[in-house]
Amino acid sequence: MFGTKSAWRVLFIIPAVLSLVLAVACQSAAPEATAPVAATEPAATATTAPAAAAAQPAASPTAPAFRAAATVAPTARPAAAAVAPTGDIKVDTLVIAVDPSAGETNLPWGGTVDHHQQMDLVMEVLVDIDPERNIWVPQLATSWELSEDGTRWSFQLVEGVEFHNGWGEFTAEDVLHSARMLTREDTLLAYATDWRTIDLDASAIISDHELALQLQSPNPDFLFYIAPSGGGLMMSKAFWDAAGLEGYNEDMIGTGPYRYVDRELGVDVDFEKLPQEHWRLNGQGGNPAEVDWPMVNLRWISEAATRNAGLLAGEIHLTELTRELADVAVSNHGMKVIQSNFPGNQLWGIFMGLYPETPASGGWSAWEQPWMYPDYAPTDIRVREALNRAVDKDLLIDTLFSGRVTISPVGGFYPNLPGWDEAWLERYDELYGYDPDRARELLADAGYSADDPAQMKMIVMNIFGFPESADLVQAIGVMFNDVGVDVSYEEWEFGNYYASWTKKEEQSLGFFVGSPSYKTVYAQLSLFNRSSGFIHLYETQELDELFMELSNTVPVDERAAIQNQMGDILFEDYGYLPLFYIFIEFVANPEIIDTWEFPGSDGANYGHFDLIRACRTAQPCY
């Protein structure tokens, strides 16, 4: 009854294909989704994509296998064949419970992208993610192509799509309007820096359903931002012109299969199915022939134990639990686990505070003082190595994660994406293996002792889509303490911590485990490893200079080589405490829910809520 996909069924495909694809066109009249074509150089004109059935990328030969749990090991299963419903749905309102730490808002720019789960049913994007193949497929854009110099993306748009509540047809004006909204001065969108590389003055509306986005520098990975992965939700310009910010705060207007009803802050959000057939419900891009639920209730509950109690009581139908609670719900209460089709998150231990005081400028050379907080213990590479050596990763895998994760050697890199180096896995034990005695030696070499220990504040908080977050940080804190680090714990609410760390405030210094969703390597490096970015994790002069070179490079092989150099720096410098790749797991009531196909690479970790299919049989749908 453990309804998972096979371990590494196909390891992450989207950017594997699309960091290579520099031009693609999808036939707007085609009844099925089409897949992008890989190319080694940018094409000057669009290339018709092959049929979906002929475009299945092979699994990466370098993808490591997941360690299987003893009692509920993931098993391979083919994609379910389309079957006509055999009965009625058993509830009219689907109740989904999640942690509210990503933030409650109706504004697409009001959070880090994690908050987009509350907009998933209402708002759409130009380019979607196929949940079965993890590749780009058309949504509001029917085709796209990239100029030879890598700076100009052209899009053909679907015609006849109406915004909810009578706000008119979706057009190219709405695309440019959405780009302006996502880059507002008050934006909290993590990818705002990359959206700001669109030169809106040089971009052109060719017709109501055709436009070109001009970038300030080459970016063959820009489809990442246009899709749900990068926060590219399309908003109504007509609604903004009429109602402004007050209207956007009060209502959520989109083109999706559900419309927004209302929300109670701290409690829930309600959505209702459109009274008319939705334009997209024709099977295109993996979409259903029909959505099942008249109403969807997204409920905010912080505590995993409370979500578990609601699930077992039948008040909640789908929720995220720790793997320990999930296994008990499966074995003792007849629930089932639904897993993302592809590993969705990387877990990294992050030493917050390893960045310069101000972004480098003037030719990227202003690095006279490399660290904003030079007395902070992790600025010493010996301390960073010691903290990595202190962590018994096998123990964490076997306890907190029930064996359902695998080692990730470098934060931001994946075995099938440009820049990956197999040597990182081969050298992982040598540089990162559990060795508490070596950790103590390194701390002593760095000048720390029992009388004057290194200090480390552990940031404990709930993180959306990662229910083991607080437990994992506390477990690692015990291991740090065991090698002589003076550990303290401080509880934070994620939104407040995010605001503090993006401002580089001293109170944000400390260690926490982040869970970035799956991204192109370029997007990871842009977001985390350049001093002029929006979020600051590990930034050095060498990384800055390499990123500037990467940002002005188009050929795929050259971009891969630069990304590999940056990965080597993160690996050799102990820029992070790299941990694991993980699937996104939800626990479902099999009396109510049959299947849910979602890739795990949505920016909110999960999405495609319209693909949650009802159990219509008298027996539970295991």
pLDDT in tens, 4-22: 333 333 333 444 344 334 3
Element (H, E) at 226: helix 223-226
Residues 146, 189: one domain?
A: yes
pLDDT at 18: 41
pLDDT at position 52, please? 26
Region 181-190: mean pLDDT is 93
Range of the domain at 566: 345-582
Task: Assess whether 333 and 386 both reside in one domain.
Answer: no
Check residue 276 and give its pLDDT: 86
- Per-residue model confidence as pLDDT tens digits over 398-456: 999 999 999 999 999 999 899 999 999 999 999 999 999 999 999 999 999 999 999 99
Please indicate, yes or no, if residue 80 is contained in any of the structural domains.
Answer: no
CATH number at residue 609: 3.40.190.10
Greater pLDDT, 53 or 362: 362
- 297 & 388 share domain: no
Q: What is the pLDDT of residue 366?
A: 60
Verify that 530 and 591 share a domain, yes or no: no
Residues 6+ positions from 117 with CB-CB distance below 8 Å: 98, 102, 298, 464, 604, 605, 606, 607, 609
The pLDDT score that the predictor gives to residue 57 is 28
Look at the chain and report how many structural domains it folds into: 2
List the one residue out of 120, 234, 221 whose CA is nearest residue 176. 234
Pick the range with the lowest mean pLDDT from 14-18, 245-249, 458-462: 14-18
Lowest mean pLDDT, pick from 58-67, 170-179, 488-497, 552-561: 58-67
Per-residue confidence band for 45, with pLDDT thresholds at 50, 70 and 90: very low
Is the pLDDT assigned to residue 396 strictly greater than 70? yes
51 lies in some domain: no
Task: Specify if 548 maps to a domain.
Answer: yes
134 and 165 co-located in one domain: yes
Residue burial 241-258, b: 16+ Cβ < 10 Å; e: rest: eebeeeebeebbbbbbbb
Q: What are phi and psi of 99, to 5 degrees?
A: -75, 135
In this predicted structure, the answer to whether residue 335 has a pLDDT above a threshold of 80 is yes
Between 519 and 510, the more confident residue is 510
User: Are 412 and 483 in the same domain?
Assistant: yes
Query: Does some domain include residue 7?
Result: no
User: What pLDDT is attached to residue 361?
Assistant: 62
| Digit-coded pLDDT (tens) for 290-314 | 789 999 999 999 999 999 999 999 9
Q: Based on the fold, state whether residues 265 and 402 are members of the same structural domain.
A: no
Residue 458 lies in a domain: yes
Give the Cα separation of 172 and 155 in Å (integer).
9
DSSP H or E stretch at residue 459: strand 455-460
CA distances from 513 to 345, 578, 595 (A): 12, 9, 30
Whether residue 73 is contained in a domain is answered as no
pLDDT (0 to 100) of residue 552: 93
- Mean pLDDT, the chain, integer: 85
Could you tell me if 453 and 349 lie in one domain?
yes
Q: How confident is the model at residue 280 (pLDDT cuts 50, 70, 90)?
A: confident
152 and 249 co-located in one domain? yes
Of 49 and 539, more confident: 539
pLDDT at 322: 94
pLDDT at 86: 66
Do 305 and 243 lie in a common domain? yes
CA-closest candidate to residue 322, choices 404, 254, 409: 404
- Phi, psi at 562, each rounded to 5°: -70, -45
Binning pLDDT at 50, 70 and 90, where does residue 464 land?
confident
CATH number of the domain enclosing 522: 3.10.105.10
Query: Above 60 in pLDDT, residue 84?
Result: no
Lowest mean pLDDT among 80-94, 213-227, 514-528: 80-94
Q: Which of 109-118, 359-368, 410-419, 431-440 has the lowest mean pLDDT?
A: 359-368
* pLDDT above 50 for 354: yes
> Bridge-partner residues for 460, per DSSP?
491
Give residue 469's pLDDT band: very low, low, confident or very high (50, 70, 90). very high
Same domain assignment for residues 208 and 336 = yes
Whether residues 334 and 357 share a domain: the answer is no
